Amino acid sequence: MTVTFISGATGGIGKAFAFACALKGYDLFLTGRSEEKLSALKEEIEKGYGVSVEIFPCDLTNSEDRAALLDFAKSKEFIVERIVNVAGVDTQLAFKDYTAEKLIFQVRVNVEATLYLTHGLLALKKGNAEVITISSMSGVSPMPYFAVYSGTKALLTNVFTSLHYELKKDGVKVTTVLPGGVYTRPDIVEQIKEQGLWGKLSAKTPEFVAERSLKAVKKNKMIYVPGGFNKFLYFLMKIAPKRIVLGFIAKRWKTQKKDAF
Ligand SMILES: NC(=O)c1ccc[n+]([C@@H]2O[C@H](COP(=O)([O-])OP(=O)(O)OC[C@H]3O[C@@H](n4cnc5c(N)ncnc54)[C@H](OP(=O)(O)O)[C@@H]3O)[C@@H](O)[C@H]2O)c1
């Protein structure tokens, strides 16, 4: 079976990717933590779209779980034609307010698991393949008071931008996606609302992000930033002096908290 792998398939953006891929007729290999949510998603997609869906519940912080996911893919003889890295933890705290467990948890899910699974699943491709990785606008500049999340996303953007070049000769198209706000969990929707006009201009629906990202990777775009306002911010953050950008970000984010632990 030739599959599109999606991590974080039970969340807002991951689910939107699952439906967008199913609409294109892609058979799916989905993961998330909750077996119950994955089973419900499998049933809904198989009934509604006529594609095959394989699921494997996995806690991405657990190295045995991650290895078991790859063993499962090998035992099923999956041919991986597309990898969509969505799973991520967006804890937003001042550095001193983290516990050691929260630090490690965030780095394991966002970075360790994404690299491990991409590496293992790419070995199961035959011929061409596509890799989409959901990074974030939050990784474009260092972000005081959102430092760890920003750092994990900057790492993903750097690694997958390098892979865009490195894997071209192997027939792999690699696109890194940098969304601003995306209307997913209620706490995120609330935070976008609190940002007023800024939030409104920056935020997109998960469906918009999924559909456009699938188009972007087909065109072999290195980086895809969803939405005109975010493209403008991306450019601004690249050219503005770092000290000014850091001061602006610190002022904006000092009062915001999210704890996705
Ligand atoms: N929403 C935004 O504003 C926004 C903006 C930019 C970038 N992003 C990025 O987009 C991605 C998805 O965000 P979202 O808003 O869709 O988040 P979400 O609704 O909270 O979904 C997160 C997904 O990651 C999975 N996950 C979390 N921890 C896990 C773990 N330890 N093991 C396995 N799976 C785990 C969740 O599985 P369970 O359902 O089982 O918990 C869920 O499927 C993240 O990488 C985020 O950083 C989001």
Give the mutation target among 15, 33, 63, 140 for probing the ligand 1 site: most ligand atoms within 8 A of CB.
33
Question: Which pair of tokens denotes residue 261?
Answer: 């632990």
- Number of domain units in the chain: 1
Mean pLDDT of 129-156: 97
| Position 198 in a domain | yes
Distance CA 137, CA 204 (A): 13
| Full DSSP string of 92-110 | B--GGG--HHHHHHHHIII
Exposed e or buried b per residue across 177-212, where buried means at least 16 C-beta atoms within 10 angstroms of its C-beta: bbbbbbbbeeebbebbeebeeebebbbbebbbbbbb
Portion of the chain with pLDDT greater than 90, in percent: 95
- More confidently predicted of 138 and 257: 138
Most informative mutation of 5, 36, 84, 134 for ligand 1 (most atoms within 8 A of CB): 134
> Ligand 1: which atom is nearest the Cα of residue 59?
32
Q: What is the pLDDT of residues 90-103, one digit of tens each?
A: 999 999 999 999 99
> Mean pLDDT score of the chain, rounded to an integer?
96
> Would you state the structure tokens that stand for residue 60, as one six-digit string?
């991405």
Encode pLDDT of 35-46 as tens digits: 999 999 999 999
Domain residues for the domain of 99 are 2-253
CATH of the domain at 27: 3.40.50.720
Per-residue burial over 237-257, b if 16 or more Cβ lie within 10 Å, else e, is eeeeeeeebeeebeeebeeee
C-alpha of residue 244 to centroid of ligand 1, in Å: 30
* Residue nearest atom 45 in ligand 1 by C-alpha distance: 88
Query: Is ligand 1 within 6 A of the CB of residue 157?
Result: no
pLDDT at 28 over 70: yes
Ligand 1 contact, 139 CB (< 6 A): no
Q: Domain for residue 259, yes or no? A: no
The pTM score is: 0.97
Instruction: Output the pLDDT for position 77.
Output: 98
Is the beta carbon of 227 within 6 A of some atom in ligand 1?
Answer: no
Cβ–ligand 1 contact at 60 (below 6 Å): yes
Is residue 245 assigned to a domain? yes
pLDDT over 70 percentage in the chain:
100
Q: Which residues contact 134 (CB under 8 A, 6 or more apart)?
A: 8, 13, 84, 85, 86, 88, 177, 179, 209, 213
Q: Is the CB of 134 under 6 A from ligand 1?
A: yes
Residue 153 lies in a domain: yes
For the cut 80, the answer to whether the pLDDT of residue 261 exceeds it is no
SS3 39: helix
Residue 253 has pLDDT above 90, yes or no: no
Decide if 258 is inside a domain.
no
Instruction: Specify if 260 maps to a domain.
Output: no
Q: Whose CA is nearest to atom 18 of ligand 1?
A: 11
